[in-house]
Amino acid sequence: MTDLSAPPFSSRHIGPSEPEQQRMLQAVGFESVADLVAVAVPEAIRAKDRLKLPAAASETEAIAELRGLADRNQVLTSMIGLGYHDTVTPAVIRRNLLENPGWYTAYTPYQPEISQGRLEALLNFQTVVSDLTGLPVAGASLLDEATAAAEAMTLARRAGKSKSDVFVVDADTLPQTKAVLATRAEPLGITLVEDPLDGAPPECFGVLVQYPGASGRLRDFRAVAAAAHEAGALVVAAADLLALTLVAAPGEFGADIAVGSSQRFGVSFGFGGPHAAYMSVREGLQRQLPGRLVGVSVDADGGPAYRLALQTREQHIRREKATSNICTAQVLLAVIAGMYAVYHGPDGLRRIAHRVHRHAVALAGGLRRAGLEVVHGEFFDTVLVRVPGRAAAVLAAAAERGVNLWQVDDDHVSVACDEKTGAAEVAKVWAAFGAEGSEVTLDADALPASLPRESAYLTHPVFHAHHSETAMLRYLRRLQDKDIALDRSMIPLGSCTMKLNASTEMEPITWPEFAAIHPYAPAEQAAGYRELIGTLEDWLAEVTGYDTVSIQPNAGSQGEFAGLLAIRAYHRANGESGRDVCLIPSSAHGTNAASAVMAGMRVVVVACDSDGNVDLADLDAKIEKHRDTLAAIMVTYPSTHGVYEETITEVCAKVHEAGGQVYVDGANLNALVGLAKPGEFGADVSHLNLHKTFCIPHGGGGPGVGPVAVRGHLAGYLPGHPLHDGTPVGPVSAAPYGSAGILPISWAYIRMMGSEGLTAATEQAILSANYLARRLAPHYPVLYTGRGGLVAHECIIDLRQITKETGVTVDDVAKRLIDYGFHAPTMSFPVAGTLMIEPTESEDLGELDRFVEAMIAIRGEISRVASGDYDKTDNPLRNAPHTAESVTADEWPHPYARSEAAYPLPSLREGKYWVPVRRIDQAYGDRNLVCSCPPLEAYED
């Protein structure tokens, strides 16, 4: 009988078909995948059993199960506030941006020429933030408001003149911000002092003010700022962007740094995230900004072009000199927030803010007239009401009417209005307080008279040109068309695992039952979420061999920090607080050392040998030297060199024997899932990157989720949250479950792959990397290999000799690949002068061969440079990439043909990607730092 069952999802997720897989195996010289894996993966780390996961569900079944979970969440009107406000994502943005793979599958814009669309969108975001906060330089997103505040705290300490170690926090700061500040401050020796800021702040290096406050109170901080500056301290304002359309900007009342969330600019709650936080700074602090900063430069033809400024890779994560560990940020959400501002324009935003404010005023007026006490006379959107002993009853009465309010204490309830608040909601709230029948009267605004918003904002034409839906649709399309994302071609980035982000995985995240849940909604309203999170944490524990997982960290970097805090707390609990040395191999990702510094550890670098492995002799020496103070080793496995180090179990044993803990950076878990488990082969803790191994799309540089996974002895030290039962370690993210809103993606992936599918994916990823290595090896030397001459899930090709002989650099190859329609591999990491390629399991043989063909053709071009057939400097490699404008110019001064420039392979004649700018001058942009939308004249010839 013919098999009538549908092919499993894994056959959709895994690119190569079985016959293709056979051809690839043949090329690599193996009979079967099992044989290949048996040679490639060291026996010592192999997992004994298959993963204990439920049998794979079909796409239809998985969606049905997710529907069931979603139905267990209850969507109420949320008037909880506290940094999270309901908002309308304009449908044109939801459908054509958030739900559009042209946007969400893009990578971080390290290759600026193929990222002009999202870079422009991020520049819009920076302009919004800079204009509204009244500070000249804004970055392209931080992880959440609380961690942004923590970054501002450390920035103030670095940049300020004060010798104090005290950071003063406004008593009216959001609770999650206070908690994250405490987590971050303690290991760095910073003392937090909470203060009502009624007079001058106590002696300190910095002060954080919340504007408006958590209680809704909106106050003038001019005197506080002046007093702080007088004493040599910097002022940080945590500000609400929507409020800033109506009241004075932080930059105008004396803030040096502004931070906050852009969530209410069109981004759903998602049970806490992901949302883009922002930071802006005054002149003079821009080189201290953490995270990425988009700037304007010029291309080879002198036209304006965007790129990431002030960093060869990431200026702030320079190993032990690091000042921040932020890598993956919240790009997709920043793009949405920026587009929300583009769509509404300054007048639209002011109208929305005004509407929010008028509803809050009406709400307060009705309560007052009913005899209730409204605590603050001046507020923007949040009304604090005193109801002695009745707070819980009011909350219950509101919930009965379908509205969530916030209980501050037994005697106080706060009510936050937002873009969706209307007369019906106000009436329900009145009723909940026992003030039924109150009527809206024309009370005066409740904004402080001393804080008028006088400066203009969003004057740039981009905020005035796209207000009709047609114009918005075309603007989104025009920007999307400039970029290469996974919807065009493979993105062969080592260490970043740009695999399929399946449509079925993506679908649920915009369902209201997942998108519209406030992170502080009552637990029973999020029952579906809690089950989904619990299940996902259990599955990840099974996959990694650890005992407990927390999904709170909202990027890999934050998972690292959380893991190291767990190690630190464990040593302290054992009376070994002197253990503060963290060993890190020289090949490690920059975030590792940065996280260690943030966790109060001292970084000691361990050398790698010529094969790229941890140098055991050096490890022994370093362990010996720091035996009594050894806290941990952080190793990436498989290593960033793309090989399975044979000695990993030995490395673990040596560190354990000296009393240290082993942290395995799980960014490369795509080489291990189903085959080996870090928690079983000797590690104590890992972070994973759900935006690498578990299919959350890269979003052009975020969002991500970086769960931290630990063995039992560290389980008591995972990140807590002020809203949950106390644990010894505080939260690392603002929201209790971090970026919960995108967890359905990873849940769906695991659910649809099952044990066999996940293992097959890993095997295919290894086979594909080895296939590429084998095919490229005759043309480019492959730098590191392990047993049997095999690599793991990625390979590094070495151009250093080629560069020496011909002058052609990795940059030239990367930019020439654009002419061939490809995103470049990872450049010069972890070894300068090399390219790291990770094909992932999702690319089929045709696509892999297309890439190989391009790389071989480029090698041919390099040979022509070497032989003198091509000019040493005026050749297609050095001049790459070629725009349509440049190859159709009336003048063509180059010694090679236009067709060689544009169509080096015949296959490119169909579906050619035309890059929008020529090669970008990085140095020019850093010398002439421009980080907000340039005036239109800049685009004139």
Ligand X SMILES: *Cc1c(COP(=O)(O)O)cnc(C)c1O
Exposed/middle/buried for residue 934 (C-beta within 10 Å: 0-12, 13-18, 19+): middle
Using rule CB under 6 A, residue 878 touches ligand X:
no
Of 103 and 107, nearer to ligand X (C-beta) is 107
Q: CA–CA separation, 404 vs 784, rounded Å?
A: 57
Structure tokens, 622: 């370093």
Using rule CB under 6 A, residue 589 touches ligand X:
yes
Using rule CB under 6 A, residue 215 touches ligand X:
no
Of 78 and 328, nearer to ligand X (C-beta) is 328
Q: Which of 114, 248, 667, 776 binds ligand X (CB under 6 A)?
A: 667
Using rule CB under 6 A, residue 738 touches ligand X:
no
Using rule CB under 6 A, residue 327 touches ligand X:
yes
SS3 835: strand
Query: Least Å distance between CB 358 and ligand X?
Result: 41
CA angle 721, 726, 728 (to 5 degrees): 95
Q: Which of 96, 116, 126, 640 binds ligand X (CB under 6 A)?
A: 640
Residues 501-520 that bind ligand X (CB under 6 A): none
Structure tokens, 731: 């939260």
Q: Where are the beta strands (DSSP E) in 265-336?
A: 277-281, 294-299, 304-308
Q: Which of 87, 328, 733, 746 binds ligand X (CB under 6 A)?
A: 328
Query: Least Å distance between CB 308 and ligand X?
Result: 14
Query: Least Å distance between CB 291 and ligand X?
Result: 11
Q: Which stretch binds ligand X (CB under 6 A): 3-11, 262-270, 432-440, 553-561?
A: 553-561
Of 427 and 732, nearer to ligand X (C-beta) is 732
Q: Which stretch binds ligand X (CB under 6 A): 294-302, 465-473, 550-558, 727-735?
A: 550-558
CA angle 116, 838, 121 (to 5 degrees): 15
Cα atoms in the 13 Å half-sphere on the side-chain side of 867: 7
Query: Least Å distance between CB 555 and ligand X?
Result: 4
Of 497 and 932, nearer to ligand X (C-beta) is 497
Of 327 and 584, nearer to ligand X (C-beta) is 327
Of 667 and 862, nearer to ligand X (C-beta) is 667
Q: Which of 556, 679, 682, 707 binds ligand X (CB under 6 A)?
A: 556
Query: Least Å distance between CB 328 and ligand X?
Result: 3
Of 25 and 555, nearer to ligand X (C-beta) is 555
Supply the DSSP string of 361-422, one letter for each residue: HHHHHHHHHTTPEES-S-BSSEEEEE-TTTHHHHHHHHHHTTEE-EEEETTEEEEE--TT--
Structure tokens, 62: 């998985």
Of 243 and 643, nearer to ligand X (C-beta) is 643
User: How far is it between the farthest Cα atoms of the chain?
Assistant: 91
Of 109 and 876, nearer to ligand X (C-beta) is 109
Query: Least Å distance between CB 513 and ligand X?
Result: 27
Query: Least Å distance between CB 495 and ligand X?
Result: 4
Q: Which stretch binds ligand X (CB under 6 A): 263-271, 343-351, 555-563, 677-685?
A: 555-563
CA distances from 64 to 57, 67, 507, 531 (A): 10, 5, 12, 15
Q: Which stretch binds ligand X (CB under 6 A): 29-37, 47-55, 519-527, 554-562?
A: 554-562
Count, residues near ligand X per rule CB under 6 A = 15
CA gyration radius, the chain: 28
Q: Which of 274, 563, 699, 704 binds ligand X (CB under 6 A)?
A: 704
CA angle 484, 489, 494 (to 5 degrees): 85
Structure tokens, 182: 């405490």
Q: CA–CA separation, 417 vs 85, rounded Å?
A: 8
Of 310 and 667, nearer to ligand X (C-beta) is 667
Of 164 and 558, nearer to ligand X (C-beta) is 558
Of 130 and 557, nearer to ligand X (C-beta) is 557
Q: Are 329 and 142 in contact (CB under 8 A)?
A: yes
Using rule CB under 6 A, residue 670 touches ligand X:
no
Helices of type H across 160-232: 175-185, 222-230
Structure tokens, 500: 């399929």
Query: Least Å distance between CB 677 and ligand X?
Result: 18
Q: Which of 87, 105, 297, 689 binds ligand X (CB under 6 A)?
A: 689
Using rule CB under 6 A, residue 141 touches ligand X:
no
Q: What residues does 409 pair with on adjacent strands?
A: 412
Q: CA–CA separation, 364 vs 375, rounded Å?
A: 10
Residues 647-666 that bind ligand X (CB under 6 A): 665
Query: Least Å distance between CB 589 and ligand X?
Result: 3
Query: Least Å distance between CB 257 and ligand X?
Result: 22
Per DSSP, 676 falls in state: B
Of 438 and 636, nearer to ligand X (C-beta) is 636
Exposed/middle/buried for residue 610 (C-beta within 10 Å: 0-12, 13-18, 19+): exposed
Of 704 and 719, nearer to ligand X (C-beta) is 704
Strand-by-strand arrangement of the 685-687 sheet: 548-550, 708-710, 685-687, 661-665, 630-636, 581-585, 602-606
Site string for ligand X, 18-37 (x = CB under 6 A): --------------------
Site string for ligand X, 95-134 (x = CB under 6 A): ----------------------------------------
* Cis status, amide bond into 703, omega within 30 of 0: yes
Structure tokens, 189: 């020796």
Of 592 and 875, nearer to ligand X (C-beta) is 592
Using rule CB under 6 A, residue 557 touches ligand X:
yes
Query: Least Å distance between CB 592 and ligand X?
Result: 6
Q: Are 406 and 520 in contact (CB under 8 A)?
A: yes
The residue at minimum Cβ distance from ligand X is: 556
Q: What residues does 77 pair with on adjacent strands?
A: 403
Using rule CB under 6 A, residue 669 touches ligand X:
no
Of 133 and 495, nearer to ligand X (C-beta) is 495
User: 158 φ, ψ to 5°?
Assistant: -70, -40
Query: Least Å distance between CB 446 and ligand X?
Result: 41
Using rule CB under 6 A, residue 706 touches ligand X:
yes
Residues 472-501 that bind ligand X (CB under 6 A): 495
Q: What residues does 404 pair with on adjacent strands?
A: 78
Q: Are 506 and 99 in contact (CB under 8 A)?
A: yes
Per-residue exposure over 372-382, b if at least 16 CB sit within 10 Å of its own CB, e if not: bebbbebbbbb
Of 280 and 739, nearer to ligand X (C-beta) is 739
Of 525 and 550, nearer to ligand X (C-beta) is 550
Q: Are 280 and 288 in contact (CB under 8 A)?
A: no
Q: Are 9 and 753 in contact (CB under 8 A)?
A: yes
Q: Which of 87, 147, 154, 591 binds ligand X (CB under 6 A)?
A: 591
Using rule CB under 6 A, residue 636 touches ligand X:
yes
Q: Which stretch binds ligand X (CB under 6 A): 55-63, 208-216, 427-435, 551-559?
A: 551-559
Find how far residue 551's CA is from the centre of its chain. 14
Residues 767-786 that bind ligand X (CB under 6 A): none
Q: CA–CA separation, 887 vs 879, rounded Å?
A: 11
- Positions in the binding site for ligand X (CB under 6 A): 327-328, 495, 555-557, 589, 591, 636, 640, 665, 667, 689, 704, 706
